[in-house]
Amino acid sequence: MKKNIIKIFNTDLALPIIFTILVWVKSLIAYLLDFSLGITDPLQIILLIINPLPLAFLIFLLPLFFKKNWVQETFMFLLLVAESALILFNVIYYREFTDFMTVNTILGYSKVSEGLSASSINLVKPHDIFYVIDLLIILGILLRKLFKHQPFRSLNTSNSPQKSINKKSLLALISCSMVGFFAVLSLSEIDRPQLLLRTFDRNYIVKYLGLDAFTFYDGFKTVQNKNVNVNKIPKNLNTVISYNKKNYIAPNVKYYGKAKGKNVFIIHLESFQQFLLNYELNGQEVTPFLNSLIKDKNVISFDNFFHEVGGGKTSDAETMLETGTFGLSQGSFFSSIAQNNTIQAAPAILAQNGNYTSAVFHGDSAGFWNRNNVYKNLGYDYFFYSDYYYQTPTSKVGMGTKDKLLFGESIKYLEHLPQPFYAKFITVTNHTPFTLDEAVDNFPLADTNDQVVNHYFRTAHYLDSSFEEFFNYLKNTGLLKKSIIVIYGDHFGISNDRNKKLAPLLNKSPEEWTKYDNAMLQRVPFIIYDQGIKGGVNHTFGGEIDVLPTLLHLLGVDTKNFVQLGQDLLSPKHQQVVAFRNHNFVTPKYTFYDGKYYDTITGELLEPDETQKKELQSIQKQVNDKLNASDLINNSNLLRYYTPPEFKPVNPKNYHYTNQYSRLLDQEAKDRFTNKSLFIDNSMNSTISEFQTTEPELINNPNELTVPPKTIKNQKIKK
């Protein structure tokens, strides 16, 4: 036995075996410590243990086709680095998204990675060293061997030469690896029939087949989606148009056109969950301003409104609110394919149905989520990003410019926008890891053993105070009565793996916490302020996909001919089926979340009878049809084949985000008699003095409110 092992390690197979074992060990560490794969029976345990081996061994056999030793060794080491990186990056990604990195996510990583360092570092754990320490050791050995002109793979201590494996044996080993993989797949099919056909949950593929298999399969599906057969386009288009007609519901006549011609403010509350409203920590309100606002007679607030984002998170929320379609099932629509798609989005629709000027105000880099390219396809006239805000040692927290600075410093641009305008403010301070100095906001921290949970309430309080200052400015300048304000939380702040730490603060027992509780925490605020509507709390179940038709109907825009997958939340015919991106759902009666059915009212776990099963199957079909329609639209770029009557497709070449301040002033002068700006309405006087703040940086440096930073002069955005 010992001699046979020595013989093996005196051949080319030494490194493939060792590297396969290393990847296998790392995979098991990830399975046990980082991924929540829901193992429920002995077969799944066996599959989990063996599934990394076949493909890993096959991968490390491939370099043996090269003849030169140093090429084989270098290639094998690079493959080990790639395998280790795949595991580590998926581990970090999973901690944030409870999902695995898709090919679209990997390809779009450079467009997402800017500004992520703070939250990524927070996701790193001590045991992550085991994912990389072997690479450092092997690199050292490899370099030492190279300097001594010795083959790295030579592990024998005898004087006998290293034996090369012949190609016939190599092909036989590769065949054995493939047989091993298909054996794993066959066993998986016993436990989970049609595993690769029903890919609603990527956890299943990793659990049964491993991370390598998931990545290869996802790559295949990605290529398949991009290489859409042109002959199928008309059929797919007809499918979508047919679905859109059936899905459309007429607006509520009481609300239709109530805000026609008004300015639109979209206030994006980063990582803001519904439970924060009216919540008190240590006797103090976390969001005192929003608590008072939702009681205003001019406000409709929805208390059963859910985020519906996938792996694209914030960009998915923007996709839904702007386009009426979902994010992708894999990765981010913004980061992967949106810039090449034909899109019918809110800025363009309002520009052509009301002569609106549009702008985004956001204190992060222009390229984050690929916004500098995608916003052109959406039809945004202006995009004021981080270069338009002062960058000082104290101006930025986490993902970008602090919220009070964002609102305050944006006024010098906002007041020159021709009216009516469509203006979106994307806040960032309330973003994981929720770090904010006590000197900036002294709201108390929660007392749990999770620092992310503890700090969440302080940054939420700061966001609430920031928006209050901006709201008061709108009131002081008279903009409030001429505007409709849409306020929404984009996605969860506390991820599901931290919810049990949060539970005691919500008067829940961590031991009794269920997946139903996770589902209910996907609620986010949705608030509409308009002095022309009758306010109150609306209990309709809905989600982010429903915002666009709701807003357009309030503005008096007929959406019947636009392809939008949501439904007007104010319509009495709204169907109240909330579709999550992973095909889970919530209705007023049933909740389906992570493989379990619950009674939405009581939270009781259900064992559906035959009648309930039929009802649930019908709901699931609705959800699947909606998501499938969205995927057809975006993955196949179907809207290039369909243009609604009286709508002109957006040409992104007509938009650019350079020299915007001077361009804005030129447009203001050009439109001064037709689309007057607030500045012109105010007799050519600035309104900045109407903005009152407690932010020390703005108090001590008032020029930051009035004068644009030098960085915007002659600036250019890299494509």
Half-sphere exposure of 622 (CA within 13 A, CB side): 18
Cα–Cα–Cα angle for 167, 169, 174, rounded to 5 degrees: 90
Distance, in Å, from the CA atom of 328 to the CA atom of 342, rounded to the nearest integer, reads 15
511 is in an annotated binding site: no
Q: What angle do CA 631, 633, 638 make, to 5 degrees?
A: 145
Backbone angles phi, psi at 460, to 5 degrees: -65, -40
* Residues 333, 316 contacting (CB under 8 angstroms): yes
Q: What are 257's two structure tokens? A: 């056109």
Q: Which residues of 527-546 are buried (b: 16+ CB within 10 A; e: fewer)?
A: bbbbbebebeebebbbbbbb
Q: Is 694 a catalytic residue?
A: no
Residue 363's identity, in one-letter code, is G
Closest of 605, 522, 505, 101 to residue 274, by C-alpha: 522
Known binding residue 539? Answer is no
Tell which residue, 14, 5, 7, 13, has the closest CA to residue 160.
Answer: 7
Q: Is 455 annotated as a binding residue?
A: no
Rounded CA gap, 671 and 679, in Å?
12
Written as six digits, the tokens of 125 are: 């754990």
Q: What is the 3-state secondary structure (H, E, C) of 190-244?
A: HHCCCCCCCCCCHHHHHHHHCHHHHHHHHHHHHHHHHCCCHHHHHHHHHHHHHHH
∠ at Cα 277 (273, 279), nearest 5°? Answer: 110
Residue 307 annotated as lining a ligand binding site: no
Give Cβ neighbours of residue 436 (< 8 Å, ≥ 6 apart): 397, 429, 455, 458, 459, 462
CA–CA distance, 580 with 589 (Å, rounded to integer): 16
Q: Could you tell me what percentage of the chain is helix, strand and coil, using 3-state DSSP and rounding each to the nearest 5?
A: 50, 10, 40
CA atoms of 605 and 627, how far apart (whole Å):
26
| CA 223 vs CA 216, 230, 698: distances in Å | 11, 15, 50
Give, in order, the Cα–Cα distances in Å from 344 to each of 230, 637, 643: 21, 11, 9
Which residue is associated with the tokens 């009286």? 646
Q: Which of 287, 314, 600, 693 is catalytic?
A: 314
Q: Nearest Cα to 664, choosing from 480, 422, 425, 415? A: 415
**148-164 residues labelled b (16+ CB within 10 A) or e (exposed):** eeebbbbebeeeeeeee
Cα(314)–Cα(321) distance, integer angstroms: 11
Element (H, E) at 587: none
Q: Which residues are catalytic?
A: 314
Residues in the annotated binding site for substrate? 431
